[in-house]
Structure 1
Amino acid sequence: MLLFLVRRLGWSVVVLLLASLLTFFIGYKVPADPARMIAGPNASVATVRSISHQLGLDQPFARQYGRFLGHALRGDLGRSYKTEQQVLPTILQRFPYTLALALSGLLFEVLIGASIGLLAAGTRLRAVDGLASTFVLLTLAVPSFWLGIILLYVFGYLYPVLPLGGADAGPISLLLPAITLGLSGAGYYARVSRASLLEVLGEDYIRTARAKGVSPGRVMVKHAFKNALRPLVTMTALDLGVLLGGALIIEQVFGWPGIGTLAWQAVQNIDLPMIMGTVLFSALCIVLANIVVDVVYTLIDPRITV
């Protein structure tokens, strides 16, 4: 296990280096001048050149990237061109909001999706399976931003029982964004859990348990569902890694002050240090999520070795 973790961490460093190199190169080639955006449209050419020189934007690509990498290895991701705030502390300040939204939204996704998948796979009624399939199609077809707007209109405006947006109202502000995020992804979990359960229910040991007189509910929960968990574990861990990097659409709809909103603002302002910081943070979350998946697999199924 220790050797596996060391090997995976080594590859993770390579992935992060490639992600930083690609992102920095794209930012370097973007046909926009951050110095001009900082100075303003009415600034003189001399002022723009002075700002560009102070930021090192007039240096060759290799030198700019090398300087960024050297500072990043010391935990310094630079200062935002727009706000002049340190990038890493700003990201960490937004992280609790993103973490709360990711965990609560993922909880709704798994609970709703896995429950519907379990019900659809375990019942022999065509009507139930049809309703489950309809739910999956609806959640996959309706865009998350549209679903969020509908929920805002109904529960924030028409029947004002929940806040219209932001995080100022406390934990209750999280409810609508989390439900929207959960409903948007629940269809995937329902479809995967149903397919995985149907495959497991066809195995010999399930037929043996039924032949021994084990109740259908016990067969489903204790035997079938446990062995159908691996695809759900993969989806959950990877989704968490992605969501920890920011749920941009949901954050924008509900005015949630997470990392996704921060990244979008950075892109709009050609704020390269903030773009690099949010991309690297997202990549780190995804890489760590992949490692967690591999470790959890060995705990679920001891037959798997790493």
Structure 2
Amino acid sequence: METFRAIVVSRGEDKKQSVAVTELRPADLMEGDVTVAIEATTVNYKDGLAITGLAPVIRRFPLVPGIDFAGTVTESSHPDWKKGDKVILNGWGVGETHSGAYADLARVKGDWLVRLPDSMTPFEAMAIGTAGYTAMLCVMALQRHGIVPGRGPVVVTGAAGGVGSVAISLLSRLGYHVIASTGRTSEEDYLKDLGAAEVIARDELTGPARPLGKERWAGGVDAVGSHTLANVLSMTSYGGAVAACGLAGGMDLPSSVAPFILRSVSLLGIDSVMAPRALREKAWSRLATELDRTKLAALSTTIGFDGIIDAAKAIVEGKVRGRVVVDMGR
């Protein structure tokens, strides 16, 4: 391959960001011991922020964005990987400080890769993507804390987004009574098809939080932050826990210590970017067996390489439901 397609984000002396589709050469790839031909990727909320420049996701310029991919190893000097291996990558600064998924080729460190489960295609892996992998990390954290279905309902915020959609599907299949919180109440049928038992309007959780509210759920998965997370915490029952993994509503947390010291509520921080490899492998192994593939298809939309930039803009505008899969051969 003499040249290959790539989306490149650059920044001028005026600090303004620009995005262009261009041709690169293999010699333009960044350092790493494994080269991967990318077959599928996805557009996450974080990718939308990176391409639009609405948040400082990209910290090295010029750079190829895209925080996760699935594909086939074409070259490797890493002992764990050989030519022909099918792999997944999520995080590790890819698409932020290391060129990422929005190109036909990527060169990365082999330690960042996870083997694609035998039962899963690259396109299914990217229908899950970082959002779905993060959702599984949240579910695992709640389970480690003892939040089992018998403890009571579990709330999922940002329910129509990527993390929320997969979290609902996983939790409902595991037997939880799931309450979905969304700003798009028109998506009620979609959320109930995924497994939500109840759907509540986002407005119920966006106002200033009381120190303690009425106990409504035993646990939660929150991808929103700010007032939403504060309200979720204030309404969590005694001994409950909330897994926090996102900041779509803001990085602040206008809460009090009351839920923590009066109800023994735990706030579980979930990081998918630098999670250790063993935890990643466990999460992907569980996704391969516990996520309903029919629901996965229902929450996914497939686009081609040429649709990435428009999809990135749409996702930050709240116009994307579920997951967006990019078929790099389309």
Higher-strand-fraction structure: 2
TM-score, with length taken from structure 1: 0.22
Which structure exhibits the higher relative contact order, with contacts defined as CA atoms closer than 8 Å and separated by 6 or more residues?
A: 1
TM-score, with length taken from structure 2: 0.21
Higher-helix-fraction structure: 1
